[in-house]
C-alpha cells in the first residue's frame, strides 16, 4: 500500500499541474482576445433640417423661425417681401415657429436618433443645419438625456442663415474642437452661404484617437466649383492628421447623383482618399434625399472613412453596418420618400434620411 500511494501522488500532482497550466493558458488566451477585440463606434450623419430656436438672433437671418405673433409688424413684413424665392418668402411671413412646433420638432428628431442601437442612438452623431449650441443642448438634455451624450459640440460659423455643423457624442474629446472655415477665392461673394468643416478628436477607451469631420458642403444651386473646393479642403485636413490617426467625415455633401454622374465628383475628389460607406454596404439603398422635380435619388448624406497610415491602430468600416436610418414612420412620406418637416401639420422629420455605419478600431499586437 505504501508503494502504491507513493506512486499515485506524483501522478496526481502532474495532472493538477497540467490542468493549472492549461487554465493559465486559457486565461492568457482570453486576455489576448480582450486586448485585440475591436472598439465599435457607431456614427450617424443627420441633416436635421432647420433646427432653429424661436428667438430672434440679431446676428443671423433667422426671421422665418419665429412665432407668428412676432411677425406682425411692418419691419418684419418688409424684410420678408424682399426674399425672391416664393416658398422662402411665404415661410418668412407665415410660418408659426411656436413653442409647440419646436417641441414637436425636437420630439421627432429624438425619435429618429433612438431608432439606432436598440434605442441607445449612435455613439457619435454628425449634425447639420443646427442654429446654435443652445438648441442642440435642449435636444440633448430634454429629449435624449438618458442616452449619456456629452455636452454638444458646436463652434459658431459665419453662415448668413446661421446654420452650423455640430456633433453629439458619448465619446469624450481629446482636444478642443476646431471649425475650419471654407475659403473660396473664386467665389468670395458667396462665402457667407457656406459652412466650415468641424473637426473633433475623440478619445477612445483604448487611448487611441478617432478624428471626425462634420461637413455641410455648398448647396446644389451653387456652382460645382464651390463643392470641389470643399472636397479639396477636406482632403487637406485629412492629410494634415498624424499618420496613426484614423478619421471619418460625415454630413451633407450636397453632391447630387446627376452632378456626380456628369462631373465624376466622388471618383475624382473622394474615393482616392476615403472609403465611402455606401460603396461597401447599403447595397439596396436608393439614397438619402429625393428630388421630386426630376424623380431622382442622391446620396447627399454620406460617411467617409480613412484608416491610419501608420502606428499601432487598425480600423475599418463594418460593411454590414451601413444603413439608411428611416425606420421612424414619421420620416417616410406616402410615396416612400423623406418626409420634410412641416410644422403647421405637425408631420415629417427632415428632408434628409440619416446614414449610419460602424467603425471598428483595433490595436495591433
Instruction: Map 192-220 to HEC letters.
Output: HHCCCEEEEEEECCCCCEEEEEEEECCCC
Strands 197-203 and 178-180, how do they pair? antiparallel
State the pTM of this model. 0.89
Report the C-alpha gap between 26 and 35 in whole angstroms: 14
Statement: residue 3 has pLDDT above 80? no
- Find the helix packing angle between 99-114 and 133-143, rounded to 10°: 70
Question: How do beta strands 164-169 and 178-180 pair?
Answer: unpaired
Would you list the DSSP string of 81-92?
TT--SHHHHHHH
What domains lie within the chain, and their CATH numbers? 40-52+102-363 (3.60.10.10)
Which is more confident, 7 or 156?
A: 156
**Bigger pLDDT: 288 or 59?**
288
Find all residues with CB under 8 Å of 14, minimum gap 6, and list them: none
Label residue 36 by pLDDT band (50, 70, 90).
low
CA within 13 Å, CB half, 183: 4
Cell numbers describing residue 363: 490595436
Q: Is the pLDDT reported for residue 259 higher than 70?
A: yes
User: Is 118 exposed, middle or buried, given 0-12, 13-18 or 19+ CB atoms closer than 10 A?
Assistant: exposed
Q: What is the mean pLDDT of residues 159-179?
A: 96
pLDDT tier, 17 (very low <50, low <70, confident <90, very high otherwise): very low
Q: C-alpha cell of 133?
A: 449650441
What is the distance between the alpha carbons of residues 26 and 22, in angstroms, rounded to a whole number?
6
Is the predicted pLDDT of residue 245 greater than 90, yes or no? yes
E strands within the chain?
39-51, 124-130, 164-169, 178-180, 197-203, 209-216, 247-252, 275-276, 289-291, 296-298, 301-306, 313-317, 323-324, 355-363
Residue 36 phi, psi (nearest 5): -100, 0
Q: What is the pLDDT of residue 311?
A: 85
Instruction: Check if the beta carbon of residue 127 is closer than 8 Å to that of residue 149.
Output: no
All 3 cell numbers of residue 71? 411677425
Q: What is the pLDDT, as a whole number, of residue 25?
A: 52
Read off the pLDDT of each residue in 243-257 and give the average, rounded to a whole number.
97
Burial of 290 (0-12, 13-18, 19+ CB in 10 A): buried
Q: Mean pLDDT score of the chain, rounded to an integer?
A: 90
CB distance 124 to 359 below 8 Å: no
DSSP for 21-62, written as a single string: HHHHHHHHHHHHHHHHPPEEEEEEEEEEEEE--SS--TTS--
Of 13-17, 189-193, 207-211, 354-358, minimum mean pLDDT range:
13-17
Kindly state the cell numbers that stand for 178: 476646431
280's enclosing H/E stretch is helix 277-280
CA proximity to 195, closest of 160, 223, 241: 160
Amino acid at each position: 500500500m505504501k508503494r502504491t500511494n507513493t506512486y499515485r501522488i506524483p501522478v496526481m500532482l502532474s495532472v493538477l499541474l497540467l490542468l493549472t497550466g492549461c487554465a493559465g493558458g486559457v486565461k492568457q488566451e482570453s486576455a489576448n482576445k480582450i486586448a485585440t477585440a475591436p472598439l465599435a463606434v457607431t456614427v450617424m450623419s443627420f441633416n436635421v433640417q432647420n433646427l432653429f430656436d424661436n428667438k430672434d438672433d440679431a446676428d443671423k437671418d433667422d426671421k422665418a423661425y419665429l412665432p407668428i405673433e412676432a411677425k406682425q409688424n411692418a419691419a418684419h413684413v418688409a424684410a420678408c417681401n424682399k426674399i425672391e424665392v416664393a416658398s422662402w418668402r411665404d415661410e418668412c411671413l407665415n410660418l408659426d415657429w411656436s413653442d409647440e412646433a419646436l417641441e414637436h420638432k425636437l420630439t421627432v428628431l429624438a425619435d429618429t436618433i433612438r431608432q439606432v442601437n436598440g434605442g441607445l442612438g449612435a455613439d457619435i452623431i454628425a449634425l447639420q443645419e443646427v442654429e446654435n449650441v443652445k438648441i442642440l443642448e435642449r435636444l440633448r438634455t430634454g429629449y435624449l438625456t438618458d442616452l449619456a451624450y456629452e455636452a454638444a459640440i458646436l463652434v459658431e460659423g459665419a453662415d448668413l442663415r446661421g446654420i452650423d455643423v455640430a456633433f453629439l457624442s458619448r465619446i469624450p474629446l481629446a482636444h478642443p474642437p476646431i471649425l475650419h472655415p471654407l475659403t473660396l477665392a473664386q467665389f468670395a461673394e458667396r462665402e457667407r452661404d457656406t459652412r466650415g468643416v468641424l473637426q473633433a478628436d475623440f478619445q477612445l477607451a483604448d487611448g487611441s484617437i478617432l478624428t471626425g469631420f462634420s461637413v455641410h458642403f455648398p448647396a446644389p444651386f451653387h456652382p460645382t466649383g464651390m463643392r470641389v473646393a470643399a472636397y479639396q479642403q477636406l482632403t487637406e485636413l485629412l492629410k494634415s492628421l498624424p499618420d496613426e490617426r484614423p478619421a471619418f467625415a460625415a454630413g451633407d455633401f450636397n453632391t447630387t447623383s446627376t452632378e456626380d454622374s456628369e462631373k465624376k465628383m466622388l471618383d475624382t475628389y473622394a474615393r482616392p482618399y476615403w472609403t465611402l460607406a455606401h460603396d461597401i454596404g447599403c447595397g439596396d439603398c436608393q439614397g438619402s434625399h429625393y428630388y421630386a422635380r426630376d424623380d431622382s435619388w442622391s446620396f447627399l448624406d454620406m460617411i467617409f472613412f480613412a484608416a491610419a497610415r501608420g502606428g499601432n491602430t487598425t480600423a475599418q468600416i463594418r460593411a454590414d453596418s451601413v444603413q439608411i436610418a428611416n425606420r421612424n414612420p414619421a420620416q417616410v412620406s406616402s410615396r416612400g420618400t423623406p418626409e420634410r418637416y412641416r410644422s403647421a401639420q405637425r408631420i415629417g422629420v427632415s428632408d434628409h434620411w440619416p446614414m449610419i455605419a460602424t467603425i471598428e478600431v483595433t490595436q495591433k499586437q
